Amino acid sequence: MDMQTDIRDEAEHVGMLRDTLRRFIDKEMPRPLVQQWDKRNEFPRDVHDKLVALGLTGLTVPEAYGGSGRDITATIMVIEELCSRSMAVGCAYIQAACYAGLNLCEVASDAQKAALLPRVASEGLMFAYGFTEPDVGADLASVRTTGERDGEALVINGNKRFCSGAAISEYIYALVRTGPADEKYKNLSLVLIPPTAPGVTLEAQDTLGLKGGGTYDVNFTDVRIPLDNVVGGADGWNDGWTRLVGPGLDVEKLEVAAMALGIARGAVQDAWDYAQQRVQFGKPICTIQSIRHMLADARTKFEACRLMTYNAARLIDARQPAAVETSMAKLFVCETAKEIVLSCQQIMGAYGYVRDFDMERYVRDILVMPILGGSSAIQRNNIANRLRLPR
């Protein structure tokens, strides 16, 4: 059975959009070209622009600002499909539709929405997250990067780490300390910092996977930005923590789950096809019971991942509480997708270990998924705490 056609329970508009996107991927993102982007660590801006022209970055933007209206299920589907072929294109889409579009809708001022949301829909405007620091990971409220007022400007000093896509984004969406650190979760603000502003320096990190957008250490030395760049305007001053952990956080967990789901989809499809084409002892290896069982397990695990991901998306679209379900999806899908991909690599044997085959890239990309967007340990804590398990 071809996984590319095995979708049975989608809303009609999502299914139609998936069909359109698959035709786009076949035409604009052929495998040889995707392999080149990965080897060169190259971002295909032209492909991103063509996605924008299809209206896909407008899936998180209200119609009043030029989008098609908030549709989380469709957005998650786009992430899954793009990441099944290329993380370079998939991650950039997330930076536009989610990092920029969703966050602006949730926590920006009216003026910021009016200025930036139309650009997300029509230009694919991208944000890069500037949260992690050299000594700050999961404990984001302990950030040390500072923002000090100087008249009508904000002066930024500090460092950010693992700032993916910083060089291809128009703004770094950064959490900075804008007051005394004695009250941990207060005196924090979200700010928009152009990576091209004087005083901003980027140092590329050489990562195992996620090639295309690049991951950077970012240094801010007396970087001056307008006070208008505080997310939320005057109301956002020292209110960064509230805005950071709002409803957008649930969607962020699903974004990573959808990335992992896409990688797993690509791996299962390739292993499924390979097992029917590879002949040993006069028969395709799919006739060997151990291979058949590995493929059956991979398909079963993938289906469980798919159901968890889209169930959580459905809850968010229905404006229902979904914090537990999104943490469960992020935990289960990322960990299980890693199992799926490594199993599929085994099915392909040595061919799954060489760069001429996409399986090698799937392995490199999937390994970081349980870490991105809140580690598996963090998600387990979230689930236990949300379900009120006594400490």
pLDDT at site 382:
95
* CA distances (Å), origin 197, targets 96, 106, 136, 149, 217: 20, 26, 24, 17, 15
pLDDT tens digit string along 81-90?
999 999 999 9
In 3-state terms, what secondary structure has residue 11? coil
pLDDT tens digit string along 303-325?
999 999 999 999 999 999 999 99
Domains of the chain as residue ranges with CATH: 3-125 (1.10.540.10), 129-241 (2.40.110.10), 248-386 (1.20.140.10)
Across 146-155, 243-252, 263-272, least confident range: 243-252
Handedness of CA 81, 84, 90, 91 (dihedral sign): positive
Q: Is the pLDDT of residue 297 over 70?
A: yes
| Predicted structure pTM score | 0.96
Q: Is the pLDDT of residue 138 over 80?
A: yes
Q: Could you tell me which of 364, 366, 340, 368 has the C-alpha nearest to residue 353?
A: 364
Which burial class, exposed, middle or buried, applies to 289 when counting CB atoms under 10 A from its CB (0-12, 13-18, 19+)? Answer: exposed
* CA distances (Å), origin 265, targets 109, 192, 329: 38, 35, 16
Confidence of residue 24 (pLDDT cuts 50, 70, 90): very high
Confidence of residue 2 (pLDDT cuts 50, 70, 90): low
pLDDT at site 83:
98
Q: Is the pLDDT of residue 97 over 90?
A: yes
Confidence of residue 249 (pLDDT cuts 50, 70, 90): confident
pLDDT tens digit string along 142-186?
999 999 999 999 999 999 999 999 999 999 999 999 999 888 899
Confidence of residue 6 (pLDDT cuts 50, 70, 90): low
Confidence of residue 68 (pLDDT cuts 50, 70, 90): very high
User: How large a percentage of the chain has pLDDT more than 90?
Assistant: 92
